[in-house]
């Protein structure tokens, strides 16, 4: 049964996912999408402010998005209006394991379309040491139950 707009309450929080990142996938993603030395070259990365290889922030975001979609597979989602407050808090390193938490921070109906509502959620992902790595506020568009039945 899908999760509709009416099923969400501000303050609802869920934890989900577990994904370990490898050195090979960090480099592969970066070579294709973000070819900066601290993402693609272990030796060069040692000389940067990161002091070693770090995943692209976009790679970290993509991993978290996949974990979120896998977790929310039954959500009556119609996509999103965007993302606010994206923050890369701490580098994601080879061997790190991510878990995520999502909290409903706002919700309101669409005043012009009775079929949808907006559910804004703050996603924060943590490494295996419980240190925040990334966060953002997703501006979700969710079907209304009252019009879906």
Q: Where are the domains of the chain?
A: 5-148
**pLDDT for residue 149:** 54
- Decide: 116 and 6 in contact? Cβ < 8 Å: no
For 22-45, the pLDDT digits (tens) are 999 999 999 999 999 999 999 999
Average pLDDT, the chain: 95
For 51-84, the pLDDT digits (tens) are 999 999 999 999 999 999 998 877 789 999 999 9
Fold classification of 5-148 is Thiol Ester Dehydrase; Chain A (3.10.129)
Q: Label residue 147 by pLDDT band (50, 70, 90).
A: low
For 106-128, the pLDDT digits (tens) are 999 999 999 999 999 999 999 99
Would residue 50 be called left, alpha or beta, if left means φ above 0 and alpha means ψ between -120 and 50 degrees?
A: alpha
- In 3D space, the residue among 51, 29, 50 whose CA is nearest the CA of residue 40 turns out to be 29
H helical segments located in 22-131:
23-33, 37-40, 42-46, 57-71
**pLDDT for residue 146:** 74
* Both tokens assigned to 79: 């996509």
Paired strand residues for 51: none
Using CA atoms, how far apart are residues 42 and 87, in angstroms rounded to an integer?
24
**pLDDT for residue 1:** 74
């Amino acid at each position: 049964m899908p999760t509709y707009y009416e099923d969400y309450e501000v303050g609802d929080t869920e934890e989900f996912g577990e994904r370990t990142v490898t050195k090979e996938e960090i480099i592969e993603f970066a070579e294709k999408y973000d070819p900066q030395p601290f993402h693609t070259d272990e030796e060069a990365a040692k000389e940067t402010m990161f002091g070693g290889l770090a995943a692209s922030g976009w790679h970290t975001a993509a991993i978290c998005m996949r974990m979120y979609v896998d977790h929310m597979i039954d959500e009556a989602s119609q996509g999103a209006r965007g993302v606010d407050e994206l923050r890369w808090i701490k580098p994601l390193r080879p061997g790190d394991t991510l878990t995520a938490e999502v909290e409903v921070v706002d919700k309101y109906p669409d005043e012009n379309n009775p079929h949808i509502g907006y559910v804004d959620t703050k996603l924060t992902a943590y490494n295996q040491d419980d240190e925040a790595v990334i966060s953002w506020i997703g501006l979700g568009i969710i079907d209304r139950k009252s019009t879906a039945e």
